[in-house]
Amino acid sequence: MFDPLFILLFALVLDWYFGEPDALWSRLPHPIVLFGKAVSFADRRLNKFSHSDQEQYKNGALAISLLLFGALMSSFLIEKIVSHLGLFGFFIELFVVFVLLAQKSLVDHVEAVATGLKDGGLEGGRKAVGMIVGRGPGSLDKSGVSRAAIESLAENYSDGVLAPAFWYAVFGLPGLIIYKMINTADSMIGYRNEKYLWFGRIAAQIDDLANWLPARLSAILIAIGSGLLGGVSRFKYSLIVALQDSGLHRSPNAGWPEAAMAGGADIALGGPRTYPGEVVQQAYLNSSGKRDLDAEEITRTIKIFALACFTLWFFIGVLAVVF
């Protein structure tokens, strides 16, 4: 009934200026919390250590199938409801899209790391970055804290902003809700450890497929944001680094926005990192870039992120008018 591109544009603008309605989520569970509870339930019921690797793989496939079926049925139910409510239905759909985007909340969390470094030194930065990354913040120095925050900013531009916007633009509410279920499942069970190596493998593979195109589009938009901030040469260099270094990342998708951000800000991202229980060796993205990072680099990358978001708004607006 309503153009999803206009709804998406409106939702992006609202999210940028208002972010998460914390007063509401203090009284009601956030949709992602509900998705997480569904994933946890499937994990408890189907992930059995006594089973063989093959059985765990099959159980993981069953789990993600049931989760996606539930997401699909829920999205169809919401669509059915909003289609009969006229203008009120428009606001319901707008609200659903709005709460499943993550521009302002991401900026707020990353800005908190910069503020923590400035006001609380290394310990303040570690505490703030521990809220947004999985690696052990206690082992990070100032550059490591800054690098972790910037990498989270770049990667989440792809899977927290562009990918949900993309799938909503293509398939409406079913595309958005199914994508968020895929992403939530991957974040909870898509690990390469003993517990989830086989059970979570299908979830991780589906997440890789769902993010394949958005990740590459995000590199282009980050490069445009870099160019708007630093000129044509910075735009070109951001794209070059994305093309050359994205494959150095252990993720088939995260390397694209991270490498584009590294080139756009002329910093080195990646490198060895410590997670709970393991040290992961990884090459640097844009290895010739600055490695001694601090709050100043975080602030500059937030500006690039903002310009990439505004560029996304522009393209969605153009598509809404044209189509």
pLDDT of residue 1: 55
DSSP 8-state assignment for residue 157: I
Give the Cα separation of 290 and 265 in Å (integer): 9
Helical (H) or strand (E) element with 273 = strand 273-275
Q: Which amino acid is at 237?
A: Y
Q: Which amino acid is at 57?
A: Y
Cα–Cα separations (whole angstroms), residue 66 to 177, 197, 255: 14, 19, 30
State the pLDDT at residue 276.
58
The answer to whether the beta carbons of residues 242 and 265 sit under 8 Å apart is no
Residue spans of alpha helices (H) in the chain: 4-18, 22-25, 31-46, 53-82, 86-99, 103-129, 142-156, 163-189, 201-230, 232-245, 255-265, 295-322
pTM: 0.95
Is residue 159 within 8 Å of residue 186, measured between CB atoms? no
Nearest of 109, 213, 201, 125 to residue 163 by alpha carbon? 213
pLDDT tens across the length of the chain (323 residues): 579 999 999 999 999 999 988 888 889 999 999 999 999 999 999 998 888 999 999 999 999 999 999 999 999 999 999 999 999 999 999 999 999 999 999 999 999 999 999 999 999 999 999 998 866 788 889 999 999 999 999 999 999 999 999 999 999 999 999 999 999 999 999 998 889 999 999 999 999 999 999 999 999 999 999 999 999 999 999 999 999 999 999 899 999 999 999 999 999 999 887 655 666 778 999 999 999 999 999 999 999 999 999 999 999 999 999 98
